Structure 1
């Protein structure tokens, strides 16, 4: 099985480590510093799955490096959602990487990534993954896996699967992170939108891990307000998730999900501390955009979006 991981950040290195653990030697497109570290020290993994070092990986600073290795069976796009269109353009410009049997899986936060990527790559080849796993990258060749809240879910938003993602899901599962192919990935992604939308930005604004948001009534009220607005937008846009009401989801969020990930620091906060652009546009930004499109008022999400936008500029 040939797999190209496009993006050597926290998520890309984490998924690549699972493939390497399962005996699948991934090719990784990452920045030059990461290339050098991976080549000299290997891919390192730490955290809940223990410490390991993998030498069965190849790294390059651009997809052109791997042109002769294509076509790939799978291409995992692990960039920030803000770089989705750029990823699609770069991959589409290298002949032979994506062939007739290639499945491109977007392993990103947010909603709307598929549309941006499909401007450059045939939409029938583009799949989405829902990943609720805590990843950090303390060094350019190291993945720190802090929490695995739920199995990774992968599927196509427009049609049922025909077994094409099963080998990839099996490899990731054997590598340490449970994963399954699903015909309901859209529901899973909206569940992730609820999770990220209600915790990532608020945790970043207050500078706290997820668990702190549930320790005070003010935090719980803010989380609940965000959840209510996301639910209203989701339903107005014709999408569905696994809970019928915001009340049902809020019980699961506060009773099960937050306790599981209580110590996790959101990627949004990590990005702000590093002076990087966050994924707010694909998360809260999509909620605001869909709210405007469907006539749903989302004042709390709009305020959160503005605050994170301000902090992005102030931290840059």
Structure 2
């Protein structure tokens, strides 16, 4: 048990940050939540969050004593976790930079490779790769469907302070790394199919991976990303509980196609009803993060002169769906 704590704030409350809040609260770690609008502040003040972990246990988390309006905050923090979508990240960093202590750091838990957007802040950023899925159920309970891990790595290429393991474990396993880009690209590839491809068809993971043509398209998507990673000389780091892209993507080192299809079928069966975040965004007529997932792949591929038609198709299809909504 820690006797002294770093000062922690969270800006942006959603499925991922609520999972982290659950771990902090279970470990009795102090933290602040910076609310950007009054209605959200009142809602969190009046209604404890309902959180269900992979073990099925439902926990009520009372956040009343943790809340402050962003414009009223007078504190400075060692760490500020940013829980917004990529397209809003610049706004959130600008809004919270005066709240960081001189040696304070942001923790970016977005999908994609958000560190690349803010190279001038490299010394002040820790990247967080999320290895779990949390959804909001119809009764507003946050449901974490798998144990997962939080992989943390300094944007400058070193390991973060080991205190993070004490802050979040055992409720949220932590992996500290000096190879953040390897984990980022692995998760980017996974997201390109479970978010990007699934959203292009607006289906659950079961509907996606139990369809043979969709599995073929998923493997094509991963093969293109594997080519980009190899050209960039990215050494893949596999998120615990996941599977290496180097083995699923075609070309050198890949598994036989029938095994790749079997792995995707098993994934579809395990997470049959899961509609991942980008699918839910389209369901709710919200703008997606496609530019930062498959769009990031397309951007890098174009610079390298690599053809990635499947990823291009996914980006185009989702942009068409966004316009229809």
After TM superposition, the score normalised by the length of structure 2 is 0.84
**1 CA distance for matches of 2:128 and 2:298?**
22
Aligned 1:2-17 pairs, distance under 5 A: 2-17=7-22
Aligned residue number for residue 83 of structure 1: 88
How many residue pairs were aligned? 302
Indicate the larger mover: 232-241 or 4-13. Answer: 232-241
Aligned 1:128-277 pairs, distance under 5 A: 128-138=127-137, 143-148=142-147, 150-161=148-159, 164=161, 166-174=162-170, 176-242=171-237, 243=244, 244-245=246-247, 246-247=249-250, 248=254, 251=260, 254=264, 258-277=268-287
Q: CA deviation at 1:180?
A: 1.9
CA contact (8 A) 2:131 2:151 kept: no
**1 CA distance for matches of 2:49 and 2:227?**
43
CA contact (8 A) 2:122 2:156 kept: no
**1 CA distance for matches of 2:150 and 2:172?**
7
Indicate the larger mover: 4-13 or 31-40. Answer: 31-40
Deviations 1:21-47 (A, max 9, x none): 111132122443331122112333124
Secondary structure in 1 matching 2:115 = helix
Indicate the larger mover: 190-199 or 250-259. Answer: 250-259
Q: CA deviation at 1:206?
A: 2.3
Change over 3 Å in CA distance of 1:19–1:54 after alignment to 2: same
Task: Say whether residues 1:291 and 2:306 are aligned partners.
Answer: no
CA contact (8 A) 1:10 1:137 kept: yes
**1 CA distance for matches of 2:86 and 2:129?**
13
**1 CA distance for matches of 2:206 and 2:287?**
24
**2 CA distance for matches of 1:210 and 1:282?**
20
Q: CA deviation at 1:193?
A: 0.8
RMSD (Å) for aligned C-alpha atoms:
2.4
CA contact (8 A) 1:3 1:75 kept: yes
Deviations 1:29-85 (A, max 9, x none): 2443331122112333124252111225522342x332x221x12111111111111
**1 CA distance for matches of 2:193 and 2:204?**
13
Question: What stretches of structure 1 of length at least 5 have no aligned partner?
Answer: none
CA contact (8 A) 2:11 2:83 kept: yes
Q: CA deviation at 1:13?
A: 1.9
Change over 3 Å in CA distance of 1:177–1:142 after alignment to 2: same
After TM superposition, the score normalised by the length of structure 1 is 0.86
CA contact (8 A) 2:157 2:179 kept: no
Change over 3 Å in CA distance of 1:260–1:79 after alignment to 2: same
Q: CA deviation at 1:147?
A: 2.6
Change over 3 Å in CA distance of 1:279–1:128 after alignment to 2: same
CA contact (8 A) 1:13 1:142 kept: no
**2 CA distance for matches of 1:235 and 1:296?**
11
Aligned residue number for residue 52 of structure 1: 59
Deviations 1:117-152 (A, max 9, x none): 455xx321201111021122358985332233x321
**2 CA distance for matches of 1:18 and 1:253?**
31
Question: What stretches of structure 2 of length at least 5 have no aligned partner?
Answer: 238-243
Q: CA deviation at 1:301?
A: 0.5
Aligned residue number for residue 29 of structure 1: 34
CA contact (8 A) 1:84 1:117 kept: no
Secondary structure in 1 matching 2:152 = strand
